[in-house]
Amino acid sequence: MCILENWLDDGILQNIASENNLSETAFLVKQNDYYDLRWFTPTIEVDLCGHATIASAFVLSSFYEKGINEIKFKTMSGIMKVTVKGDMFYLDFPTRKAEKTLDYKTFIEAFSCKNQGVYKATRDFLIVFENETQVKNIKPDFSVLKKVKEEAQLENDLFGIIITAQGDNCDFVSRFFAPTAGIDEDPVTGSAHCTLIPYWAEKLGKTKMKAIQLSGRTGKLDCEYLGERVLIGGKAVLYSKGNICL
């Protein structure tokens, strides 16, 4: 994430994100009692991102506003709050419920296995599989997966594909792919859990859940369903710090 004194040209922000080559790079500008926050993948700006928001809260509470226990962000998806409790960071994000949709041929071909249902939320697709092992072992054909944009007649590249199943040692597991947005597989995806949490809350009959994202890096999340909002809890550590010269 990058803290700026003032907003730079969008082209510069996109170039920085491309050079970073991470799933998302967060950019922040301080505005009185909140921060303007934007997220860029290596190819486009996105409307919601969880782990880059936790990273932003971690950096702000560790280096810029030490001891702060709540941070407010203004984003494309409205006002977001992060609460700091010890080494845990809790995102207050909007719920994005999914509705049943077509089982597109693209998904069948790209995943090479049968699913139990396909759903569509505001932004992302949600595909349910039988068990955790199936989700873990799927090897997507990303060149094929990109074709869902044309098959589903989507207007832009701002969407992802979530695959999920009930977990063996947690409530549910997932993985997240967004090849049209420059992200083949995301390691941990807070925005995806805006859709996963209400789905599994209904299926499991509970509002507090534990989730694991089965990426190569693996992500563990505390989840709570609050109706119109969801709480997503996770931890953060410092990986690197430096300056960007323009």
Burial of 37 (0-12, 13-18, 19+ CB in 10 A): buried
The token pair at 214 is 């089965």
Host H or E run for residue 14: helix 10-20
Rounded distance between C-alpha atoms, residue 79 and residue 84, angstroms: 17
Beta strand pairing call for 117-120 and 229-234 = unpaired
DSSP reduced 3-state for 180: helix
Number of H helices, E strands in the chain: 7, 16
Active-site residue identified among 19, 24, 65, 99: 24
DSSP reduced 3-state for 12: helix
Q: DSSP letter string over 46-80?
A: ES--SHHHHHHHHHIIIIISTT--EEEEEETTEEE
Rounded distance between C-alpha atoms, residue 25 and residue 22, angstroms: 7
Beta strand pairing call for 125-128 and 183-186 = unpaired
Q: Cβ atoms within 10 A of the Cβ of 78, count?
A: 11
Q: Catalytic annotation on 24?
A: yes
Instruction: Give the active site residues.
Output: 24
